[in-house]
């Protein structure tokens, strides 16, 4: 098993007001904001997984001091891939452009014919934080469907990898 192990990126900002004479309705004298992004990647010979979970902190938040950012959990095995969290379901095209939401998608690449089958269920509106969970719970605000992406014309000739592989054996 190959792994780059868990990683984290952290930032904390603390500020304190030193002068507030003759001012009303002030926020707390000391305030803090910060974030931590937790990531982990695991891989084996025929599968890989990746987790990216950002957590945000704000002492002045009304509801929650710690909140979930745009997370993503992905898993791939050979031609099959799933993603859960904030992600785009396809490259920009004439039907969908810039569509990135929280939800679930699964794709399967058909071997040998440059075709990708994708099914998805995504939140219709933007959502962040812990409150909406996976983004799939509200059936009145969910977009679900499927796509077939195909590239029927291949370029002729060898790819760079084929040339390199071939020259190593000659």
Write down the domain spans for the chain. Answer: 1-19+26-69, 78-170
Per residue of the chain (170 residues), give pLDDT as tens: 666 667 888 899 998 888 777 778 887 888 899 999 999 999 888 899 999 999 999 988 887 889 999 999 999 999 999 999 999 887 667 777 778 899 999 999 998 888 999 999 999 888 888 877 888 888 899 989 998 888 877 665 443 433 333 333 33
pLDDT of res. 1: 60
Degrees, nearest 5: CA angle 68-70-73: 100
* Cα gap 167→170, rounded to integer Å: 5
pTM, full prediction: 0.74
* Nearest alpha-carbon partner for 121 in 165, 89, 90, 160: 89
DSSP 139: G
pLDDT of res. 154: 67
Q: What are the CA-CA distances from residue 168 to residues 109, 117, 157, 158, 160 (Å)?
A: 29, 35, 18, 15, 13
SS3 69: coil
């Amino acid at each position: 098993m190959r792994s780059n192990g868990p990683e984290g990126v952290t930032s904390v900002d603390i500020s304190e007001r030193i002068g507030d004479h003759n001012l009303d309705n002030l926020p707390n004298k000391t305030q803090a904001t910060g974030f931590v992004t937790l990531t982990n990647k695991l891989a084996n010979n025929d599968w890989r997984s990746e987790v990216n979970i950002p957590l945000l902190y704000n002492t002045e938040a009304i509801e929650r001091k710690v909140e979930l950012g745009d997370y993503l959990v992905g898993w791939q095995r050979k031609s099959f891939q799933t993603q859960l969290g904030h992600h785009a379901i396809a490259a920009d095209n004439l039907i969908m452009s810039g569509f990135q939401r929280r939800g679930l998608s699964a794709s399967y690449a058909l071997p040998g014919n440059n075709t990708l089958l994708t099914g998805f269920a995504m939140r219709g509106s933007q959502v962040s934080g812990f409150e909406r969970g996976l983004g799939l719970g509200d059936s009145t605000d969910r977009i679900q469907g499927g796509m077939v992406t195909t590239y029927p014309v291949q370029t002729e000739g060898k790819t760079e990898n084929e040339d390199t592989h071939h020259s190593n054996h000659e």
